[in-house]
Chain A
Amino acid sequence: MAEKRTYEVVFIVDPDTADDEVMRLSEGVQKIITTQGGSITKTEMMGKRQLAYEINHKKDGTYVLLEVEGSGAEIAEVERRMRVNDQILRYMTVRVDEMRRRAEKLKDRRARKAAKQPSNGKAKPVEAEPDSDEEESAA
């Protein structure tokens, strides 16, 4: 498990908790991660917003987003803590490094395609088809 992974951790805090309490919670989570050997690359307080559905009879919640880099062990620990914390209504962790890599690949492929396009524009009649169809139907 030497490889480094990137995760996005989102959690929803009870709307009744004060702002500084939310800050403290978030700092607590960050501390757990750093002591477990992970690092925080981004923190974002997304603020209070309405929930799309009720969770624990609450209609809104405070969203906190963290971006974490690490092996995955710290995520397990954080999730374990969040599970028992009553102030945290919901949490979700998404692994983003693989997603981003895939996006990067798509970008590369498109760039290559774009570079190729002008040279063999004539060899691809597919490109012109939608236009010619429109003209025919208009006439």
Chain B
Amino acid sequence: MSANYEDRDFGFEREYDRTMPRGPRRMQRRKICRFCIEKVDLIDFKDVKLLQSYVPERGKILPRRISGVCATHQRMLAEAIKRARNIALLPYAAD
């Protein structure tokens, strides 16, 4: 289930590789929160284009361990996505 997320390309930077031997020095590249960089304070539920990049085909909310969004922004994002679902801007579940 969760494996599918890692197979697909969501357009996020993924420089980690699970198959690589992880030595003590080998550090995973820290994913950075895109909203923090762009200094977003408010995520609007009407911004469908933005929200869509955080809901893969299945319609589920992309976990932040994949997208690298920080906790604060993930919370805002989740709220916005749920609101958008309520007024049919985003699907609850796509087949």
Q: A residues bordering B, Cβ < 8 Å?
A: 10, 12, 46, 51-53, 55, 61, 63, 65, 90-92, 94, 99-100, 102-104, 106-107, 110, 130, 133-134, 136-137
Contacts and interface: CB of A to CB of B under 8 A. Distances in A.
Contacts of A107: 41
Interface residues of B, number: 19
B39 A53 contact: no
Given A52-B85, A90-B87, A137 B27 contact: yes
Secondary structure type dominating chain B contacts: loop
Instruction: Indicate the member of A55, A91, A103 with the most B CB atoms within 10 Å.
Output: A103
Interface of B: 25-27, 29-30, 39, 41-42, 45-46, 83, 85-92
Contacts of B88: 12, 51-53, 55, 61, 90
Contact of A92 (B30, B87, B91): B87
